[in-house]
Structure 1
Amino acid sequence: MRHGQAENNVQHILAGRQSEYHLTERGKEQVSLTANGLKSIPIDMIYTSPIIRTVETTKIVSETIGVDYGIDERLTETEMGSVVGMGFNDVLEKYGNIFPGFFRDDPTLENLKIEKFSDIRKRISNILDYVAERHQNTNVLLVTHLDPIKAAITRTLDLKPESLFNMTIGNASLTILRHDSSEYNLIAFNVMDMSRYSWNSRKNDNLQNI
């Protein structure tokens, strides 16, 4: 699950790990909608990123469905290095469109000290395997961020960097993976309450992609 809409999403700021932004009121409503939809699903445990916007998301879900949670550093946000706190458009103006290159570990980004996507994949794969081993035959909810969710999806699909960049994962949306033996299968993607999808326009502030 991705965290609900946070202040940095509205401001189009690359928050990274160092800048703490809280959920907006809209974000809390988004999370509540998703949490209510989870009431009918038997969830054994919740693990969350330590970043405040994910912890706030997790607390709402935990209280709604009555399931305990723990904090796990492997679910944390991408380390954004030199661009942390910058606006999306400011990054484009200063460095060009670095984002598709991020998903292919473009070596030119090393000077910006941005965490490699391959390293995000490693830590996300690690926690996926940990959960699969520790919570066999149960449902576990992981609350995290945009890039870690995309990293989890690459465990099941071989996607081009450009496809990963353009992939929309809405705030407070669910991405569902099933573990069978040693394999993961993508069961559902970007699942939200139907009222949150835009049917009349491509513009939709529910689908924040930064």
Structure 2
Amino acid sequence: MLILVRHGQTAANARGLLLGRADPPLTETGCRQARALAAALPRAARIVSSPLMRARQTSAVLAGAAPAAADAAGVEVDPRWIEMDYGDLDGRPATALGEQSWRMWRQDPDFVPAGGESVAAVCTRVRQACVDLADDAARGDVIVVSHVSPIKAAVTWALGVGDEVAWRMFLADAAVCRIDTAGPVPLLLAFNDSGPVNGDDRASR
């Protein structure tokens, strides 16, 4: 199983700011979320993480270490799982981008915000990362700790749909997605599952 985990909360997430390549740590709430994930998720054959601190801290807890041990043994760092580069928008509210630009961004996967990265570019790198993990995930659980945009990109890969579909998804802090890669095509089994951090098995839709 390919298990995709969004990192725990950061202060920027809590404030509703766009958070791309900026590198803040988890909040205390984020650390609690990581511990809840570690208690609920299966032991994985591999744990892969984005290189950003918030993902590495979450991964460290999943690997049995403390959040401060961001470089925990047994965690592989793959830069293809890094968050989208928001460029000049990083750390700013979504309202910092005008309505017309937002419309263009949602309609055109190749749209690049100033100094940033397109949705299409994120999908290209993440789809290859998914392909590279698919065989191992078919034989055992592989956990990837990443961010909103790369996880959405992985879901477009699983569903075989266009890049623009990423804008039609919502993913909460510390939410889990599961993709079965054992068959002839990937199967999305769960999306935005907040059960592990809420103490139940319900999946948000």
SS of equivalent to 1:187 = strand
Matched residue, 1:48:
49
How much identity, in percent, do the aligned residues show?
A: 24
> Pick from 30, 55, 74: which aligns with 2:33?
30
CA drift at 1:125 = 1.0
Query: C-alpha separation between the residues in 1 aligned to 2:104 and 2:198?
Result: 30
Superposition TM-score, scaled by structure 2 size: 0.80
Matched residue, 1:81:
87
Superposition TM-score, scaled by structure 1 size: 0.78
Change (3 A) 1:32 1:9: same
Matched residue, 1:11:
15
Q: CA RMSD in A?
A: 2.7
Query: C-alpha separation between the residues in 2 aligned to 1:114 and 1:147?
Result: 13
Matched residue, 1:200:
none
Query: C-alpha separation between the residues in 2 aligned to 1:195 and 1:143?
Result: 15
CA drift at 1:90 = 2.6
Preserved CA contact (<8 Å) 2:139 2:182: no
CA drift at 1:160 = 8.2
Matched residue, 1:204:
none
Instruction: Give the letter aligned to residue 87 of structure 1.
Output: P
Q: Deviations over 1:183-205 (max 9, x none)?
A: 211011111237739xxxxxxxx
SS of equivalent to 1:123 = helix
Matched residue, 1:192:
194
Query: C-alpha separation between the residues in 2 aligned to 1:29 and 1:67?
Result: 21
Instruction: Give the letter aligned to residue 131 of structure 1.
Output: L
> Pick from 105, 108, 112: which aligns with 2:108?
105
Is there any run of 5+ residues in structure 2 with no aligned partner, and where?
66-71
CA drift at 1:44 = 0.1
CA drift at 1:101 = 3.9
Is there any run of 5+ residues in structure 1 with no aligned partner, and where?
198-206
Matched residue, 1:156:
158
Preserved CA contact (<8 Å) 1:44 1:67: no
Preserved CA contact (<8 Å) 1:175 1:188: yes
Matched residue, 1:119:
121
Query: C-alpha separation between the residues in 2 aligned to 1:100 and 1:156?
Result: 26
CA drift at 1:99 = 4.4
Preserved CA contact (<8 Å) 1:34 1:193: no
Query: C-alpha separation between the residues in 2 aligned to 1:71 and 1:160?
Result: 24
